[in-house]
Amino acid sequence: MEIKDSHLEREVDKLVNNLAIKNGNAPSHPDPKLHQIISFIKSGIRIIGYAFLPFSLVTATVLLILSEIIGIVEELV
């Protein structure tokens, strides 16, 4: 159903958001800037991890696993 009145539409949106918050289903809005920052950090750690492959497999493995964990956090932001 389309609402023609913009004021009424804003009021309906407020009511829906208030009900969602009360029910614990608040809409989440991802932060694109934070997502980008975390992505750059993850990529940097991944590049460093690959650079360590010829020198130390243990260090490379730890860094690559860390970058994957950061990737999971990145998707939750």
**In this structure, what token pair is assigned to residue 77?**
């932001």
Give the 3-state secondary structure of 16-61: HHHHHHHCCCCCCCCCHHHHHHHHHHHHHHHHHHHHCCCCCHHHHH
pTM for this entry: 0.62
With tokens 């009360």, the residue in question is 22
**Residue 56 pLDDT:** 97
pLDDT of residue 47: 97
Answer positive or negative: Cα dihedral of 52, 53, 55, 59: positive
pLDDT at residue 17 in the model: 73
How high is the pLDDT of residue 24? 66
**Average pLDDT by consecutive 10-residue portion of the chain (77 residues)?**
66 74 66 92 97 97 96 89
Q: To which H or E segment does residue 62 belong?
A: helix 57-76
Give the residue extent of every domain in the chain: 1-28, 31-77
